[in-house]
C-alpha cells in the first residue's frame, strides 16, 4: 500500500480535481486487481511489484526516460524481461533508486549525473541489503582504486549488472570480461595457463583470505553447461537425497549411483561432472587482493592431501534458479570408484587414488624382487648342486 499513497499524492498534484478521491480510487483498483488476478502457478514468475509496473510505463525501450548530462541526452531504461528474470524481481524500483519518486516532479526537468558517476553512486545502495559483501569489498583492490579516484575501477553493477541480476553463476569468471590480458600475463610463469583459468576461479588465488574447495557441477555432457531443474529436467535435490540416505555427504559409491540414476532416462541429455576449484564462502570473492598478495605456490595444490581437496561439494541448479552445493566426502577425489570425478578434475600430485598408488608400489617392488629372487634361488640351487657333487666325489675317492 506504500506505493498507493505515493502515486495518490503525485496524481493529486498533477490533477487537482482528482483530490481527495484519489486514494479511494487507487486503493479500490489495487484491491480489485488483487482479487481479480488469478493465482500464479508454482512455475510462473510472479508479477513485478506495483511501483515497478508504474515505473515501466515510461522506462521501456519504446518510451525511454531521457535525462540530461553534459548537454547530451542519456537514455535510462530497464526492460521488463530483465527484471522478470532477475533475482531482484520482488523489489520495487524505489528500493534501490531511493532518490526517485514514482512520478516526475511537476513543471521541473530532472537532471542526471555523468553516467559513470551515476553508476558509482547507485552501487552504494547495494549496501543496504548486502552488508557482508560490501564489508569484504571495502578491503579489496577494486575499492582501494576507487578511493584513489580511479573511476573505472569496478563497482557492484559492473560485475553483477544493474537489473538482470541472476542467481545462476556465470559460466567462467566475470573477471575475464575486463581482464582480457590475464591469459597472456599468467602464461609468462604459469604452465598450462588456459586450463588453470578454466578449472580454478580467479578468487581462489586472488582472494587469499578465503578457503578454496573443489566443486563438482552436474553438467550436460554435450554442451558442458550446468544442468538446471525445470520443465523436462530432473529434480537433482531429490535424487541426491535418495542416494545419500544417511545424509553424511556423497561418498564415491553414492556418486556413481547418482550418475547412473540421473542418466537412467535415455530421452534426457546425458549428465556428467565438471570439476572446478572455488571459494568455500562465495562472498569471499569480493575481497580481492592486489597482485603482490596473490597465491603463486604450486605446492598449495600439487601435493598429496592438499588442504583445498579436503572440502568437496556437488553443485546443481534448483527450480528457483539458485545454485546449490551439496556436501560430498573428500574420498570422491581419491577412491578407486572416483573415475567419473577424476576424469573432469585431476590434479597432478593432488588428486591421487591411493589404492592405485599401493598397487603401483607393489608392482615396482615385485619388479625389483623378481630378478633379485631369481638370482638368490639360482645361487642356492647352484650352491646346493656343487655341495652334493663334492660329497659324491668325496665318497667315490673312499
In a structure prediction context, what are the per-residue pLDDT tens digits for the chain, which is 398 residues long? 444 444 444 444 434 444 444 444 444 544 544 444 444 444 455 567 777 777 776 666 555 445 444 454 445 555 667 777 777 878 888 888 776 655 554 444 545 557 788 788 888 888 888 999 999 999 999 999 999 999 889 998 888 877 877 654 444 567 888 888 888 999 998 888 988 888 899 999 999 889 999 999 998 888 888 887 655 567 888 899 999 999 999 999 999 999 999 888 888 888 888 888 999 998 898 999 988 888 888 888 888 788 888 999 999 888 777 788 999 998 888 887 777 777 767 787 777 666 666 666 677 777 787 778 777 777 777 666 666 666 666 666 65
Burial level of 15, CB count in 10 A (0-12/13-18/19+)?
A: exposed
Q: What is the pLDDT of residue 144?
A: 94
E-strand spans in 150-270? 212-220
Q: What is the pLDDT of residue 230?
A: 56
Q: What is the pLDDT of residue 146?
A: 92
Burial level of 234, CB count in 10 A (0-12/13-18/19+)?
A: buried
Q: What is the pLDDT of residue 360?
A: 64
From the list 363, 338, 361, 362, the residue with the least C-alpha distance to 351 is 338
Q: How many CB atoms lie within 10 A of CB 356?
A: 11
From the list 13, 32, 35, the residue with the least C-alpha distance to 22 is 13
Where helices occur in 58-130 by DSSP H, the ranges are 80-84, 93-96, 115-123
Burial level of 287, CB count in 10 A (0-12/13-18/19+)?
A: buried
Query: DSSP assignment, residue 249?
Result: -
Give me the DSSP letters along 24-57: HHHHHHHHHHHHHSPPPPTTSPPPPPHHHHHHTT
Q: What is the pLDDT of residue 384?
A: 67
- CA–CA gap between residue 132 and residue 127 (Å, rounded): 8
Q: How many CB atoms lie within 10 A of CB 311?
A: 15
- Which residues make beta-bridge pairs with 313? 215, 327
Q: What is the pLDDT of residue 237?
A: 86
End-to-end CA distance of the chain: 128
Dihedral angle over CA of 213, 218, 221, 223, nearest 10: -90
Predicted TM-score (pTM) above 0.75 = no
3-state secondary structure of 97: coil
β pairing state of 65-69 and 312-317: unpaired
Amino acid at each position: 500500500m506504500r506505493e498507493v499513497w505515493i502515486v495518490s499524492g503525485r496524481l493529486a498534484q498533477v490533477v487537482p480535481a482528482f483530490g481527495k478521491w484519489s486514494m479511494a480510487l487507487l486503493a479500490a483498483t489495487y484491491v480489485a486487481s488483487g482479487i481479480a488476478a488469478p493465482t500464479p502457478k508454482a512455475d510462473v514468475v510472479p508479477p513485478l511489484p506495483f511501483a515497478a509496473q508504474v515505473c515501466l510505463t515510461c522506462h521501456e525501450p519504446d518510451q525511454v526516460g531521457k535525462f540530461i548530462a553534459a548537454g547530451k541526452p542519456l537514455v535510462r531504461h530497464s526492460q521488463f524481461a530483465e527484471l522478470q528474470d532477475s533475482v531482484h524481481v520482488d523489489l520495487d524500483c524505489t528500493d534501490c533508486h531511493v532518490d526517485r519518486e514514482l512520478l516526475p516532479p511537476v513543471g521541473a526537468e530532472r537532471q542526471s549525473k555523468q553516467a559513470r558517476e551515476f553508476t558509482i553512486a547507485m552501487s552504494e545502495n547495494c549496501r543496504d541489503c548486502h552488508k557482508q559483501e560490501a564489508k569484504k569489498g571495502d578491503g579489496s583492490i577494486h575499492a582501494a582504486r576507487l578511493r584513489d579516484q580511479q573511476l573505472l575501477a569496478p563497482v557492484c553493477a559492473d560485475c553483477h549488472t544493474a537489473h538482470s541480476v541472476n542467481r545462476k553463476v556465470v559460466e567462467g569468471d566475470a573477471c575475464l570480461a575486463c581482464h582480457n590480458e590475464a591469459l597472456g600475463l599468467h602464461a609468462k610463469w604459469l604452465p598450462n595457463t588456459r586450463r588453470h583459468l578454466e578449472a580454478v576461479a580467479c578468487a581462489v588465488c586472488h582472494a587469499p583470505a578465503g578457503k578454496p574447495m573443489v566443486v563438482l557441477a552436474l553438467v550436460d555432457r554435450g554442451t558442458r553447461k550446468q544442468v538446471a531443474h525445470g520443465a523436462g529436467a530432473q529434480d537433482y535435490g531429490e535424487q541426491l537425497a535418495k542416494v545419500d540416505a544417511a545424509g553424511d555427504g556423497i561418498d564415491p559409491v553414492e556418486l556413481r549411483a547418482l550418475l547412473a540414476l540421473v542418466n537412467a532416462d535415455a530421452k534426457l541429455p546425458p549428465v556428467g561432472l565438471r570439476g572446478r576449484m572455488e571459494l568455500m564462502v562465495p562472498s569471499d570473492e569480493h575481497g580481492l587482493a592486489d597482485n603482490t598478495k596473490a597465491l603463486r605456490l604450486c605446492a598449495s595444490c600439487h601435493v598429496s592431501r592438499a588442504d583445498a581437496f579436503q572440502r568437496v561439494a556437488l553443485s546443481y541448479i534448483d527450480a528457483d534458479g539458485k545454485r546449490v552445493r551439496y556436501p560430498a566426502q573428500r574420498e570422491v577425489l581419491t577412491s578407486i570408484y572416483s573415475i567419473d570425478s577424476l576424469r573432469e578434475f585431476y590434479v597432478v600430485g593432488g588428486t591421487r587414488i591411493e589404492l592405485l598408488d599401493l598397487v603401483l608400489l607393489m608392482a615396482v617392488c615385485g619388479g625389483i624382487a623378481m630378478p633379485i629372487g631369481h638370482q638368490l634361488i639360482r645361487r642356492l640351487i647352484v650352491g646346493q648342486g656343487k655341495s652334493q657333487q663334492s660329497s659324491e666325489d668325496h665318497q667315490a675317492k673312499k
